[in-house]
Amino acid sequence: MPRCLWVGFYLGFSAYAMVEGYIVREMEKGDIDRILEIERESFRLPWSRALFLDEFTRDYSHTYVVCDREKGEVQGFIIFWVLFDECHILNISVAKAMRRRGLGEKLMQRCEKIAKSKGASYLYLEVREGNQPAINLYGKLGFRFVGLRRGYYTDTGEDGWVMIKNIKKKVT
Ligand SMILES: CC(C)(COP(=O)(O)OP(=O)(O)OC[C@H]1O[C@@H](n2cnc3c(N)ncnc32)[C@H](O)[C@@H]1OP(=O)(O)O)[C@@H](O)C(=O)NCCC(=O)NCCS
């Protein structure tokens, strides 16, 4: 096998093995301290503890973390609402040191699975127009740009992109 194919195979396999060492589970209140650390290193306007705690009071809110299978350390989280046929992704973040290893994708996949099981037809979210890592992640997973919210982010005045992914099976 040519050397570049070996290298490609090895890199692909390592990323797969890496993600396999992590599980996605429901968020617990005891995770909040670690989640606040990840939130603060990820966003200019981080959510407060109270905002995270509020999510536990909403029956339409779904909160998951991704953590190390053996040590149990939380390295990322996702929060989404499933209401009627729509699923709104409100927050997703992966610890800075753990990015680009497939954990964000793993969280998004769990979100889609839950949304489908609850009968949602589509997933949607808002993302800063300059947030290329997130835009690439959503694009890779099949989201498409459907509209602009002008000046949506009040700290910088940045526009928000609205992105959608249809998840309802087409009847043929
Ligand atoms: C966006 C975020 C959640 C992605 O998490 P991640 O675990 O690093 O993403 P993954 O490793 O699963 O990457 C999946 C895909 O996303 C895209 N991507 C992720 N990071 C990227 C980067 N730095 N540059 C370009 N594309 C990137 C790629 O398409 C990647 O697929 P590939 O590795 O096959 O090329 C992470 O960057 C993050 O926490 N950012 C800060 C918080 C944030 O912006 N949240 C989104 C708010 S809308």
Segment 41-72, tens digit of pLDDT: 999 999 999 999 999 999 999 999 999 999 99
Asked whether the predicted pLDDT for residue 165 surpasses 90, the reply is yes
Asked whether the predicted pLDDT for residue 9 surpasses 90, the reply is no
**What per-residue confidence (pLDDT) applies to 19?**
83
Sign for the CA dihedral angle at 137, 139, 144, 149 comes to positive
Structure tokens at 9: 């195979």
Class of domain 8-166: alpha beta
Domain ranges of the chain: 8-166
Q: Please, what is the end-to-end C-alpha distance for the chain in angstroms? A: 42
Question: Which run of H or E residues covers position 158?
Answer: strand 158-166
Residue bearing tokens 């609850």: 118
Measured from the CB, is residue 12 less than 6 Å from ligand 1? Answer: no
Which mutation among 94, 98, 108, 164 tests ligand 1's pocket best, with the greatest number of atoms within 8 A of CB?
94
Q: pLDDT for 112-124, tens place per residue? A: 999 999 999 999 9
Structure tokens at 69: 């299978």
Measured from the CB, is residue 100 less than 6 Å from ligand 1? Answer: yes
What is the distance of C-alpha 7 from the center of its chain? Answer: 29
